[in-house]
Amino acid sequence: MTLASWQHNYMISNGVRLHYVTQGDGPLMLMLHGFPEFWYSWRHQIPEFAKDYKVVALDLRGYNDSDKPSDTAAYRMGELIKDVEGVIRGLGYDRCVLVGHDWGGAIAWQFAYAHPDMVDRLIVMNLPHPAKFAEGLRTAPQLLRSWYIFFFQLPVLPELILQAGDYQMVANAFNGMAIDKTAFSPEDIEMYKDAAAKRGALTAMVNYYRNIFHQGFTSRQWSKLSVPTLLIWGENDAALGVELTYGTEAYVDDFTVRYIPNCSHWVQQEKPTLVNQYMREFLTAHAA
């Protein structure tokens, strides 16, 4: 893995300047990270899939080197969907393989519903279908796991706690949750802390959560998604119970799920070889 060999670029999408890393040529594979990450969470996937694709790993708005709008409403799902659409079209494509983890997975699900014609295949990691997540939030076990969502609704305090002790809570999110404690090197943790420490980043990152109850997903009726979809799930996710995956096939016409035991929420970083294998198998079986 040679970070220096990857190209760093910027583009304007939906009025926001977004940073991304890219490698390879061919059909577009667009990767969307989660919280509290940035493009770097895909470091094990970028070189592998750059063999066949133009891989673009985005810094979502508010993260790392992308713009950080100050308005809380700038982080509503409708804006995030427009960002993705603008990136795909701005890169000169009309379709992509869309890959998302955590918040990136939430955006990927919603984008596939909004623009199924622009998603050739969908790969989501450790983020349930929005209908299943809404169901989960009505159960006591998932409500307990999702305590941080409600904590992040508070003003100011979440940012203060996240940055306390040299961003110790950010470091703990990775080292504390990972089953394989060797998955994150000290250098990896420093990169995540540095990204979170950028001016305006913490508030922007938390603002995703502050908009979560404005998204309408808790009451929306979901049709069946026509896009072939792979869900990869680390079974030992402390934040999202594996039961949130059960029954997803009722919402997706062509659905594949791969469970990875002894693996946390950080699935593509903790088990990269297996994740890459499952992605390859799915992409081959569903070749365009």
The DSSP annotation for 250-284 comes to GTBSSEEEEEESS--S-HHHHSHHHHHHHHHHHHH
| SS3 category, 100 | strand
- With beta carbons less than 8 A apart as the criterion, state whether 98 and 30 touch: yes
Q: Which two tokens stand for residue 105?
A: 């997975």
Edge-to-edge, what's the strand order for the sheet holding 119-125?
Answer: 7-13, 16-23, 54-58, 28-32, 96-101, 119-125, 229-234, 255-260
Enumerate the H helices of the chain as residue ranges. Answer: 46-49, 77-90, 103-114, 130-136, 140-145, 147-151, 157-175, 186-196, 201-210, 267-270, 272-285
* Per-residue tens of pLDDT for the chain, all 288 residues: 556 678 999 999 999 999 999 999 999 999 999 999 999 999 999 999 999 999 999 999 999 999 999 999 999 999 999 999 999 999 999 999 999 999 999 999 999 999 999 999 999 999 999 999 988 888 878 878 888 888 888 999 999 999 999 999 999 999 999 999 999 999 999 999 999 999 999 999 999 999 988 766 566 889 999 999 999 999 999 999 999 999 999 999 999 999 999 999 999 999 999 999 999 999 999 986
Residue 233: exposure state from Cβ atoms within 10 A (0-12, 13-18, ≥19): buried
How big is the CA angle at 207 (ends 184 and 62), to the nearest 5 degrees?
60
Smallest CA-to-CA distance from 56 within 16, 83, 35, 77 is with: 83
At residue 189, what are phi and psi to the nearest 5 degrees? Answer: -60, -40
Q: Which residue has the tokens 């989501």?
A: 124
Q: Which residues are known catalytic residues?
A: 102, 209, 265
- 149, 209 Cβ separation under 8 angstroms: yes
Predicted pLDDT of residue 68: 99
Reported as a single tens digit per residue, the pLDDT across 5-26 is: 789 999 999 999 999 999 999 9
Cα torsion 133, 106, 47, 65: sign: negative
d(CA 180, CA 114): 36
Are 100 and 41 in contact by the 8 Å Cβ rule? The answer is no
Bridging pattern class, strands 28-32 and 7-13: unpaired
In words, the CATH class of domain 3-285 is alpha beta
Distance CA 5, CA 161 (A): 36
The length of the chain, given as a count of residues: 288
Half-sphere exposure of 74 (CA within 13 A, CB side): 16
55 token code pair: 């891989």
| Burial (Cβ within 10 Å: 0-12, 13-18, ≥19) of residue 102 | buried
